[in-house]
Amino acid sequence: MGWPFIGGTLQLYSQDPNIFFASKQKRYGEIFKTHILGCPCVMLASREAVRFVLVTLAHLFKPTYPKSKEKLIGPAALFFHQGDYHIRLRKLVQGSLSPESIRNLVADIDAMTASTLESWHGGRIINTFHEMKKARKRLSEILSEIIRERKEKKLLEKDLLGCLLNSKDENGEVLTDDQIADNAIGVLFAAQDTTASVMTWIVKYLHDNPKLLEAVKSEQKAIRKQNEEEGKQLNWSQTRNMPVTYRVILESLRMASIISFTFREAVADVEYKGYIIPKGWKVMPLFRNIHHDPEFFTDPQKFDPSRFEVAPKPNTFMPFGSGVHACPGNELAKLEMLIMTHNLASNYRWEAVGSKSGIQYGPFPVPRHGLPTKFWKECIS
């Protein structure tokens, strides 16, 4: 259990969490216990155990977050809940993020990424991570204005806000303004640093692997050339047919494993393979350990998108979690990454500045100093 009260907290938060988890797993096996932030915790590094907690007996493991996070986002946001309220909110959020809904966003995402990249051109040093986030901050600034306008004009849009504003439960009750605000902000919160972190890793991995970059460039330039010749914009079906880029995105999600683990809390004593997980204990499924297990991913420290030419074994690849709380934004996140990579690889070259290695945690892992980089547009059309 480590030191009384502090347990493994210092080790976990003061160093690369990979080292903490990997060394514990090596010493104690796939299931082990420690104290994190004063709470007794069971850590799970086996895919069967993770499935047991997140899927099979999900009702016995409730989500748990620090109080500060609940306050920051708003306590009515869906990730803090279980049961009927969670199911209701999840349907609304999922509906607005389904492929049918997001396919209409291609043109907007394309225009936004193209203009952001345009503003990076010229060899100034860009803090890649910071800039990836800034583009998203604009969204939250306009949120309250849109809510006001929608309510005033009684607009019936089918997007996330529209779904939240127009939903009625079986008794005809609408969501309160607080529930709407908490969930809209909650989705922005869940969407922001996550996607920005992975995009930053993609910029780095492509930079560090020139052969792969060439393959991605040739895939994306062919699409751009075709669109230019036919006077068309990037469309949804083209985003469904970018196999090389798609594998780079999957491998970036695996390598970076930006959500290294998640937390649940046992709501009753639960037995798993002869171990008792006592009521009130935290349980941590360790996604990163599974993504870096050589049994499932040969030579796991190597960035090798070709490994995804074959589908990974069941429950070994969970960058978006698993079960009732799995990420409803995964299709949108992948769409944004595909479109960003399309614009970047087909039109720009870039050079990382300063140290090429090192990771910082805040709390998601990103390349050191947010990957300071210079960008140049290759062809001015």
Binding-site positions for heme: 327
Q: Which is nearer to ligand HEM, 34 or 194 (CB)?
A: 194
Distance of alpha carbon 31 from alpha carbon 49, whole angstroms: 8
Q: Please, which residue, 182 or 219, has the CB nearer to ligand HEM?
A: 182
Residues that bind ligand HEM (CB under 6 A): 63, 78-79, 90, 93, 97, 187, 190-191, 194-195, 198, 258-259, 262, 319-321, 325-329, 332-333
Provide φ and ψ at 81, rounded to 5°: -120, 160
* Contact (CB, 8 A) for 239 and 106: yes
For residue 273 the two structure tokens come to 């393979």
Provide the minimum distance between the beta carbon of 60 and ligand HEM in the complex, in angstroms, as a whole number: 15
The least CB distance from residue 259 to ligand HEM, in Å, is 4
Is residue 281 within 8 A of residue 39, CB to CB? The reply is: yes
State how far the Cα of 110 lies from the Cα of 269, in Å rounded to an integer.
50
Q: Which is nearer to ligand HEM, 6 or 267 (CB)?
A: 267
SS3 366: strand
Nearer residue to ligand HEM within complex by CB, 215 or 259:
259
Q: Which residues are annotated as a binding site?
A: 327
Listed residue (13, 88, 44, 36) closest to 293, CA to CA: 44
Q: Is the dihedral of CA 52, 28, 261, 291 positive or negative?
A: negative
Which residue's CB is nearer to ligand HEM, number 224 or number 285?
285
CA atoms within 13 Å, Cβ hemisphere of 75: 4
The nearest distance, CB 95 to ligand HEM, in angstroms, is: 12
- The CB-of-111 to ligand HEM minimum distance in angstroms stands at 18
Name all contacts of 352-356 with Cβ < 8 Å and 24+ positions apart: 352/204, 352/207, 353/125, 356/208
**Chain mean position to CA 102:** 17
Coil, strand or helix: which one is 282?
strand
Q: Are strands 264-266 and 282-285 parallel, antiparallel or unpaired?
A: antiparallel
CB closer to ligand HEM out of 130 and 221:
130
Q: 27 is written with which tokens?
A: 């010493």
Q: Is the Cβ of residue 80 or residue 350 nearer to ligand HEM in the bound state? A: 80
- Ranked by CB distance to ligand HEM, the top (closest) residue is 329
In angstroms, what is the minimal distance from the CB of 287 to ligand HEM?
7
- Interatomic CA distance for residues 193 and 224, integer angstroms: 28
CB of 213 to ligand HEM, least distance (A): 20
> Least Å distance between CB 89 and ligand HEM?
8
